[in-house]
Structure 1
Amino acid sequence: MKYLCLVYLEEKILNGFPSHERRAISDEAMSYCEKLQKAGQLLAASPLHPVETATTVRVRDGKTSTTDGPFAETKEQLGGFLMIDVPDLNDAIRIAAQFPAARFGSVEVRPMKELGCAD
């Protein structure tokens, strides 16, 4: 079963870490993703640029509008994702819990429908 793991964090907290600690977290995340990829469990993963680079798009009455920044003001922002393929939710939770950002943010695990528009 495919799962999308959405990694949320407070950018203020992450930016408050010393640069060597941020590098260590990034290196740990890369190593973990490599391990998952070698095990055949990782389909895709990527960090996102900071929230201030986001653009929200809406279409109302046929008119497109854009807003700088995220759709909602929240403490935690979407910081990245992992798309995994594992037998069940328990395996997905185990993988999410071992991702470094789960220690100071959160990882939302969502099953993916098989009716996607791209394969």
Structure 2
Amino acid sequence: MTKYLVLIAYEPGGWESASAEEQQAFHDQHHAFDAAVGANLLGGQALDGPDAARTLRHVDGEPVVTDGPFAETAEMIGGFYLVEAADPDQVVEWCKLLPPSYSLEIRPCITIEGYEESA
């Protein structure tokens, strides 16, 4: 089994302007995803907005911390899921249960020789 990271991106402002019924539909779609994935759901979390982000870069060999996300985009990363599946097609099927307004990036996790997981 392979671990996959599902990054959830969406247009900012949609949640705040959504009706209670629309917000409930989003919750229902996430619950459907959770139920479909079951024990293969290894973790996940909603993320605070880009205004709460900090970015660390090295400039001329020195660490520099700035407020905000790495790049300005129309979409923001709003959360993630970490799942385990036999193949990426299964992850895609599960992700079809999430709200259609999301842009979902599905990436397999890899093992780097000489660096073992601590968890």
Range into which the TM-score falls when normalised by the shorter chain: 0.7 to 0.9
1:14-29 pair list within 5 angstroms: 14-29=15-30
**Which residue of 1 is the match for residue 8 of structure 2?**
7
**Which residue of 2 is the match for residue 98 of structure 1?**
97
Q: Distance in 2 between matches of 1:118 and 1:61?
A: 31
- Measured after TM superposition, the shift of residue 36 of structure 1 is 4.5
- Measured after TM superposition, the shift of residue 19 of structure 1 is 4.1
Length-normalised TM-score, structure 2: 0.83
Call closer, same or farther: CA 1:53–1:20 in 2, change over 3 Å.
Answer: farther
Length-normalised TM-score, structure 1: 0.83
- Measured after TM superposition, the shift of residue 98 of structure 1 is 1.3
> Equivalent of 2:110, from 105, 109, 113?
113
1:2-81 pair list within 5 angstroms: 2-29=3-30, 31-32=31-32, 34-36=34-36, 39-81=38-80
Q: What's the CA shift string for 1:28-54, capped at 9, x where partnerless?
A: 42x2354146x3110001010111111
Question: How large is the RMSD of aligned CA atoms in angstroms?
Answer: 2.0
Aligned residue pairs total 115
Question: Share of identical aligned residues, percent?
Answer: 30
Where structure 2 has 5 or more consecutive residues not aligned to the other structure, the ranges are none
